[in-house]
Amino acid sequence: MELMRIFVGAILSLVVCASAAARTLASYNIAGWELNAFADDKTGRFSSCIASARYNSGVSVFFMIDSDFRWYAGLKGNKIRVIDDRRYDFLLKIDDGQVYNFSGISAGRDMVIVPLQNNSGIFQEMRRGRMLYTKVAGELTSFRLDGTSRMLAALLDCVRYKGQLSDPPAAGPATGGEATAGASQKPAGPSRGTIQTGSGFFVNDRGAGITNAHVVADCKSATISGYGPARIVARDAINDMALVQASGDPKTPYAKIRRKPLQLGEAVFVMGFPLAGQLDNGLNFTSGLVSSLAGMGNDARLLQFTAPIQPGNSGGPIVDNGGSIVGVIQSKLSEVASLQNNGSLPQNINFGIKADLAANFMRANGVDPTDVDTAPPQEATAVAREGRGYTFQIKCTVE
């Protein structure tokens, strides 16, 4: 019941600005979902992270993970007509898949909460699914699952880092329709004054660089470590890319873009500056393999790789064993050890934007990158040494 008190208090703080049992630690906008981290008002300790989206139907959907990595879902809205503090069957189905039958409990007359901690396999379906169907107290409701994959990854990281997401996944605008997350109420983004950090790399010798659009979201300008102020020249929120320009026309080392298509199983290296303020300020260099030539839902714009990444890596380069750019780091799905006993999300499921898409974005915005078919293989130490020159950390302040 104590957990229920915190959960209900947190949800009420979202929808009616109450704070009976929880106070907000941080808020993020994740692909049309509002993600909030909470602390227990009684103890001051981190308690949970909740992702919520309000739909045109008037119903809000909630997913919560508490500090012990237990999962919960909830519905709240004028279509949910229940009697307070009673048990209700909570039916859930994704697309044309299995029907899950949970036991939920009402909290007030328009909200039902259900534990999902022993059914984590359902989140695998949600990552791939398009529609979520629920039935509570005889009321059937449907919801589009736009942005759910990124939301789930961010929700896990929110709990893992106790509410501190220095580099949240890309926030995409919600589309219209009766059952589209965020369609009738835009979730709040990072608050004014928030410092966002990420990575990037130079693509010519005059200080032009590439990073992710979500790294510089809601910022008017940025700072490139070692080079000072930078202009945000162009953004592509759909493909999650941004072009930046270091001030003062500096002479910069730069990366070359590979034209030759990637092969499944090919070795890659990734570089960046993860976990700002927690690790040292040096370049982080990891290796892995290309594990898929497409992203979620067979998205041909993306590649999947196994090299480990952390918050702050976003926007950094993915290179082959010759040091040529084959992609731009974008996002990850997290490993959460606390879920292993109940079934965990896959480990090292990381995504990048393919190099040809990044090159087209550069050219469309007046920067002509240097490209090569391929380059001779090098020792990993040589690739890292070269990458240290053109990879940078970028910071900006939300305005």
The pLDDT of 134-146, averaged and rounded, is 85
Report pLDDT for 163: 78
User: If residue 149 lies in a helix (H) or strand (E), which one and from where to where?
Assistant: helix 148-160
Report pLDDT for 285: 94
Output the CA–CA distances (angstroms, integers) from residue 104 to 50, 173, 349, 381, in the order listed.
17, 31, 32, 55
Report pLDDT for 55: 83
Alpha-carbon dihedral angle through residues 301, 305, 307, 312, given to the nearest 10 degrees: 30
User: If residue 128 lies in a helix (H) or strand (E), which one and from where to where?
Assistant: helix 121-128
pLDDT above 50 for 61: yes
Is the separation of the CB atoms in 75 and 62 below 8 Å?
yes
Residues 6 or more apart whose Cβ sits within 8 Å of residue 204: 252, 254, 367, 368, 369, 370
Report pLDDT for 256: 97
Q: Domains, the chain, ranges and CATH?
A: 2-160 (2.60.40.1880), 195-397 (2.40.10.120)
pLDDT above 60 for 6: no
Report pLDDT for 281: 65
Report pLDDT for 249: 79
Report pLDDT for 343: 42
Residue 259: how many other CB atoms lie within 10 Å: 13
Residues 6 or more apart whose Cβ sits within 8 Å of residue 223: 229, 230, 394, 395, 396
Q: Indicate the range of 51-65, 160-174, 216-230, 304-318 predicted with least confidence.
A: 160-174
* Predicted confidence (pLDDT) per residue in 62-115, tens digit: 888 888 878 888 898 888 889 988 999 999 888 888 888 888 888 888 889 888
Q: What are the backbone dihedrals phi and psi of residue 229, each rounded to the nearest 5 degrees, phi first?
A: -60, 150
Angle between helices 121-128 and 148-160 (to 10 degrees): 140
Torsional sign, CA 196, 200, 205, 206: negative
* Predicted confidence (pLDDT) per residue in 158-195, tens digit: 887 777 764 444 333 222 233 333 332 333 445 577 78
Amino acid identity at 224: I
Q: Indicate the range of 191-195, 246-250, 263-267, 272-276 predicted with least confidence.
A: 191-195
The β-bridge relationship of strands 139-144 and 131-136 is: antiparallel
* Predicted confidence (pLDDT) per residue in 324-333, tens digit: 999 999 876 5
* Predicted confidence (pLDDT) per residue in 18-27, tens digit: 444 567 888 8
33 vs 378, residue with greater confidence: 378
Burial 38-59 (b: 16+ CB within 10 A, else e): bbbbeeeebbbbbbbbbbebeb
The pLDDT of 293-314, averaged and rounded, is 86
Alpha-carbon dihedral angle through residues 194, 198, 204, 205, given to the nearest 10 degrees: 80
How many residues would you count in the chain? Answer: 399
The pLDDT of 346-374, averaged and rounded, is 89
Give the Cα separation of 343 and 351 in Å (integer). Answer: 22
Q: How confident is the model at residue 251 (pLDDT cuts 50, 70, 90)?
A: very high
pLDDT above 80 for 124: no
pLDDT above 80 for 366: yes
Three-state secondary structure call for residue 382: helix
* Predicted confidence (pLDDT) per residue in 311-324, tens digit: 889 999 999 999 99
Q: How confident is the model at residue 346 (pLDDT cuts 50, 70, 90)?
A: low
Of 136, 140, 79, 144, the residue nearest 113 (C-alpha) = 136
Report pLDDT for 19: 42
Residue 20: how many other CB atoms lie within 10 Å: 12
The full DSSP string for 157-216 is HHHHTTT--SSPPPP-PPPPSTT-TTSSSPPP-SPTT-EEEEEEEE-STTSEEEE-GGGG
The β-bridge relationship of strands 325-333 and 284-292 is: unpaired
* Sole residue written with tokens 């919560």: 64
pLDDT above 90 for 154: no
Report pLDDT for 252: 95
Report pLDDT for 287: 95
